[in-house]
Structure 1
Amino acid sequence: MTEQRPEFMIDSWDFSTHPAQAIESDFHDRQNSWFHIQRDQPGIQEWLQNSGIPEPLIDAVLEEDTRPRFERNPHGFLLILKGVNLTEGERPEDMLSLRILYYKGNIYSFRKRPLRSVGVLRERLKQQQGPESLHDFLVMLIEEINNRLEELLDVIEAEMEQLEDDTTGGTSERQRHLTQLHRRMLRLVRFVRPQLTAIERLAVDAVKWLETDNVQWLVNERDSTQRELESLEMLLEQVWMLREHLQQEVAEKMNRNTYWLSVIAGVFLPISFLTGVFGINIGGMPGVESDQAFWIFCGSLAVIAVVEFLLLRRLRFW
């Protein structure tokens, strides 16, 4: 009896021939095949058990919360990766999990939400322009995940340069944007660092499962991941440098304002003293009977202010 496609099966391809052929039925007892599965649908556990996959591996690929890692098993390996979230309305740094199980010559991949990197390969396979073998598929999948991450880093770097070159925006607004950018990069580093470790471990063990050319391509992708992590760390250093620069700008502005307030207070201190003294309404105040006393007093205050100004200028207070 012909086995029909399960509801959780998103896509499936047979790489025994080139170009790869879509699998529409008889999903068990195959070799050199890729099965792409929606992991939050019912019936997956039973189907995987019927495919001969041990229960501990099934639990590992269906676990809800995971981080990038690589684990060997007697018949292959488990590779968990994170890809950039390009779903509309979502934050790209909230990376999506992709679980890849290489078991007895087949690849099983598990997703909860669509990943653009997988979608690109699916489109290429439909156009018969995809990878030539199952090993090529694995390397190209890692390459596409790195490409999406690199595109996101280019966007972040452009935002960072714009913040550095912005001389018109307010300091508080620039600090707010910088804080948001900092949080985004921290989320990326949280997953990219263990992802590099996972790909490094895969590259070391790849000679057991992959052909020589694929091993070299995988090493190249490991280097790409290393470069992306280094770029993230450099951007984080730039964030701290720009944050310190903005804090220094605020401190200098406050010091400058405090300085000028001190100068102004110093100029008006003796004048305020004299106006306070001559504002006393008691007998014996000089000039009370003179019509010119007020103007003489104002002129004296002006002379005092000019003398103080010249004195502070000579003392190089500014």
Structure 2
Amino acid sequence: MDFLIDSWDFSTSPATACASPTTHQPNCWFHFQRDAEGLSGWLTQAGIPEPLIDAVLEEDTRPRFQRLPDGFILLLRGVNLASGEQPEDMLSLRLLYYKGALYTFRKRPFNAIAHLRDQLKHQSGPDSLHDFIVSLIEQINLKVEDVVSDAEDAIEKIEGQGFDDTASLQVQLTSLHRRLLRLNRFIRPQLAALEKLTTEAERIMPGELHQWLINERDTTQRLFEQIDLMLEQIWMQREQIQQAIAEKMNRNTYWLSVIAGVFLPLSFLTGVFGINIGGMPGVESEDAFLIFCVALVVIAVVEFLLLRRLRFW
């Protein structure tokens, strides 16, 4: 069975690996490669209704929770920590808890699942299927928290750079904004799914595990609020950059206006005395050019002092 990645029996503590997993065993966890051939037929033989098979094997899903007469479906998303991948391109993990057995489905390697499998191999993992579900949600939150913390550090670094290179800041903020929007796209519905799971789990989970599940739901709530806050920070940072650009442009425009005001009379005089026609004063005098230059300097100094007295800067 190429589609079966792993299976564990939680009937005993610690859990033991299933040597020859059958089509259905209560208190067992089956982990599947979602896109492998033969999986649909195996699930059908296990007695799982076709609509549930379609729900866990469909290509594109968003996080959600669906209560069933004999269990529930929980669709989750976790950050993609594979080498060369973008963490915000979140991976899909589907959980089907049906008639006392847990089935999970993934298309690409899932770090949270890998961590729990490693714990089970060392006999330090969850003691029951309910404990496994809570531990899985905890691991997903831990991985998301690492990515969110990195984004928060990046925002703080950008805020400390000043506004000398606004083009570079805009590129960095755009990249961060895109990453956070992708995270927010799945964290928001994931929070709603976990809230429904928490309500449903109250009747099927022991009190202590249910409290741990509530804690993980609160962690997801905190991560969602943290992402929302960082999106607001990015918008504020962009507004500050736009304000800094506007102030810089206004300052440059102001100085250009001052310079134009100083040179306008001078340009007028040079234009007038540049007319090459008869009757121009000073044409026959050798000192005319020097006198004219001195007059231009005097006029420029007078304009400078006048603008300064009028508090133009």
TM-score by length of 2: 0.99
Question: Does residue 1:145 correspond to 2:140, yes or no?
Answer: yes
Counterpart in 2 of 1:304?
299
Counterpart in 1 of 2:39?
44
Instruction: Measure, in 2, the Cα distance between the counterparts of 1:226 and 1:169.
Output: 36
4+ residue stretches of structure 1 with deviation over 6 A? none
- Which residue, out of 258, 262, 265, partners 1:267? 262
Asked whether the equivalents of residues 69 and 79 of structure 1 are also in contact (C-alpha less than 8 Å), the reply is yes
Which whole-Å deviations, capped at 9, do the CAs of 1:179-210 have from their partners, x for residues lacking one? 11101111111100000000000000102321
After the TM superposition, which of the residue ranges 20-29 and 65-74 deviates more from structure 2?
20-29
- Which residue, out of 274, 278, 285, partners 2:273? 278
Asked whether the equivalents of residues 163 and 244 of structure 2 are also in contact (C-alpha less than 8 Å), the reply is no
Unaligned runs of 5+ in 2: none
Counterpart in 1 of 2:113?
118
| Residue correspondence of structure 1 range 194-273 to structure 2 within 5 A | 194-273=189-268
Counterpart in 1 of 2:174?
179
Asked whether the equivalents of residues 64 and 193 of structure 2 are also in contact (C-alpha less than 8 Å), the reply is yes
- Which residue, out of 44, 67, 80, partners 1:85? 80
Instruction: Measure, in 2, the Cα distance between the counterparts of 1:276 and 1:128.
Output: 94
Which whole-Å deviations, capped at 9, do the CAs of 1:211-232 have from their partners, x for residues lacking one? 1111111100000000000000
Instruction: Measure, in 1, the Cα distance between the counterparts of 2:21 and 2:275.
Output: 108
- Identity across aligned pairs (percent)? 63
| CA-CA distance at 1:169 after TM superposition | 5.3
Question: Does residue 1:103 correspond to 2:110, yes or no?
Answer: no
Instruction: Provide the secondary structure at the position in 2 that maps to 1:132.
Output: coil
Question: Does residue 1:20 correspond to 2:4, yes or no?
Answer: no
Instruction: Provide the secondary structure at the position in 2 that maps to 1:208.
Output: coil
Asked whether the equivalents of residues 146 and 224 of structure 1 are also in contact (C-alpha less than 8 Å), the reply is yes
Unaligned runs of 5+ in 1: 1-5
Instruction: Measure, in 1, the Cα distance between the counterparts of 2:24 and 2:82.
Output: 35
Superposed CA RMSD: 0.9
Which whole-Å deviations, capped at 9, do the CAs of 1:126-163 have from their partners, x for residues lacking one? 11110111111000000000000000000000000111
Counterpart in 2 of 1:69?
64
| 1:165/1:9 CA distance change after superposition, 3 Å | same
- Which residue, out of 125, 137, 141, partners 1:130? 125
Counterpart in 2 of 1:295?
290
Counterpart in 2 of 1:3?
none
Instruction: Provide the secondary structure at the position in 1 that maps to 2:202.
Output: helix
Aligned length: 313
Asked whether the equivalents of residues 76 and 209 of structure 1 are also in contact (C-alpha less than 8 Å), the reply is no
| CA-CA distance at 1:68 after TM superposition | 0.1
Which whole-Å deviations, capped at 9, do the CAs of 1:55-96 have from their partners, x for residues lacking one? 100000000010000001110000000000001111100000
Instruction: Measure, in 1, the Cα distance between the counterparts of 2:120 and 2:202.
Output: 26
Letter in 2 for 1:222: R
Instruction: Measure, in 1, the Cα distance between the counterparts of 2:239 and 2:84.
Output: 32
Instruction: Measure, in 2, the Cα distance between the counterparts of 1:94 and 1:170.
Output: 29
Instruction: Provide the secondary structure at the position in 2 that maps to 1:12.
Output: strand
Instruction: Measure, in 1, the Cα distance between the counterparts of 2:23 and 2:202.
Output: 27
Instruction: Measure, in 1, the Cα distance between the counterparts of 2:202 and 2:298.
Output: 92
TM-score by length of 1: 0.97
| 1:169/1:264 CA distance change after superposition, 3 Å | closer
Counterpart in 1 of 2:187?
192
Instruction: Provide the secondary structure at the position in 1 that maps to 2:6.
Output: strand
Letter in 1 for 2:205: L
Instruction: Measure, in 1, the Cα distance between the counterparts of 2:163 and 2:309.
Output: 35
Asked whether the equivalents of residues 23 and 43 of structure 2 are also in contact (C-alpha less than 8 Å), the reply is no
